């Protein structure tokens, strides 16, 4: 994750120096709806065995909650400046559900994810709800948020490019945390729902860029963000509304 963030920060800094060539806007809604699992993507934790968490698994829950918070907030804040259906719909529908899914696990295990030095502190819904926009208990995520905001605010194209970057980062982290969740079915199912949603979001941002005339879509950002191997929900038709996963 840290290596990808460093690369992302370098990419963003370089592109800021070069400048975004397009200021065209696109209100075409290319959001691929997340395929529902169990109705609206909710997981009934009473159906799972509560397997004890390792320290690494506690950290992965904390990290992914903050990363989903970043996705929701960066999309909403950029949408205020450069309105785009992809930003609005993914943030208000899918990312809200993704945060809820991770937070349900955090509550179930009764761990605190705002003090990563001491998971023994009890879970507090109020503490999470009161965390300001753009503020995170993970310093590298807060640094990433600030860098992405400065980059994405320049234009609609830049805002959609931020979406590509965020979703690739999300998928990369989820790949790692899914591998580390072996034996914990509740975590595996939750993280797989998040990753499936991120695949859809990646293609939504890719389509949004292509509709603006950026022929290579997310691939225009370089090899790290070019992932034709990601599953593509073609049935979504590229015109969904970011339904919950």
Map out the domains of the chain with their CATH numbers.
2-15+52-236 (1.20.1260.10)
Place of tokens 């503020």: 135
- C-alpha angle 40-44-48 in degrees, rounded to nearest 5: 140
| C-beta of residue 26 within 8 angstroms of C-beta of residue 87 | no
Tens-digit pLDDT profile for residues 53-76: 999 999 999 999 999 999 999 999
Collapsing DSSP to helix, strand or coil, 31 comes out as strand
pLDDT of 233 reads: 80
pTM of the entire predicted model = 0.85
Instruction: Give the whole-angstrom CA distance, residue 61 versus residue 53.
Output: 10
Alpha helices (H) along the chain: 2-18, 55-81, 85-89, 96-109, 125-129, 139-152, 156-179, 185-211
Q: Which residues contact 88 (CB under 8 A, 6 or more apart)?
A: 75, 76, 79, 242
pLDDT of 120 reads: 80
| C-beta of residue 193 within 8 angstroms of C-beta of residue 10 | no
Instruction: Give the whole-angstrom CA distance, residue 67 versus residue 88.
Output: 17
pLDDT of 35 reads: 40
pLDDT of 10 reads: 57
Instruction: Give the whole-angstrom CA distance, residue 137 versus residue 144.
Output: 13
Beta-ladder partners of 240: 31
- Which of 184, 168, 155 lies closest to 226, judged by CA? 168
pLDDT of 29 reads: 56
pLDDT of 25 reads: 47
pLDDT of 237 reads: 34
Q: Encoding tokens for residue 80?
A: 């205020």
H or E element at residue 222? none
Instruction: Give the whole-angstrom CA distance, residue 173 versus residue 46.
Output: 27
Beta-ladder partners of 31: 240
Task: Give CA torsion, residues 10, 15, 17, 22, to 10 deg.
Answer: -170
User: Based on the number of CB atoms within 10 Å of its own CB, is 213 exposed (0-12), middle (13-18) or buried (19 or more)?
Assistant: exposed
Confidence of residue 116 (pLDDT cuts 50, 70, 90): confident
Instruction: Give the whole-angstrom CA distance, residue 81 versus residue 149.
Output: 10
């Amino acid at each position: 994750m840290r290596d990808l963030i460093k690369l992302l920060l370098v990419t963003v800094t370089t592109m800021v120096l070069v400048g975004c060539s397009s200021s065209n806007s696109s209100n075409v809604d290319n959001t691929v709806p997340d395929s529902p699992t169990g109705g609206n993507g909710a997981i009934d934790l009473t159906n799972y065995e509560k397997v004890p968490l390792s320290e690494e698994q506690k950290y992965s829950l904390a990290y992914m909650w903050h990363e989903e918070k970043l996705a929701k907030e960066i999309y909403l804040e950029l949408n205020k400046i450069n309105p785009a259906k992809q930003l609005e719909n993914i943030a208000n529908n899918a990312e809200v559900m993704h945060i809820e899914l991770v937070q349900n696990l955090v509550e179930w295990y009764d761990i605190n994810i705002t003090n990563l030095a001491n998971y023994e502190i009890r879970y507090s819904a109020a503490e999470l709800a009161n965390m300001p926009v753009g503020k995170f208990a993970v310093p590298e995520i807060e640094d990433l948020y600030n860098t992405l905001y400065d980059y994405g605010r320049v234009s609609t194209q830049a805002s959609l490019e931020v979406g590509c970057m965020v979703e690739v980062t999300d998928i990369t982290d989820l790949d790692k945390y899914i591998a580390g969740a072996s034996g914990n079915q509740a975590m595996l199912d939750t993280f797989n729902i998040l990753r499936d949603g991120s695949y859809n979001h990646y293609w939504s941002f890719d389509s949004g860029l292509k509709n603006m005339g950026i022929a290579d879509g997310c691939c225009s950002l370089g090899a790290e963000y070019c992932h034709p191997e990601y599953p593509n929900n073609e049935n979504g038709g590229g015109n969904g509304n970011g339904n919950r996963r």
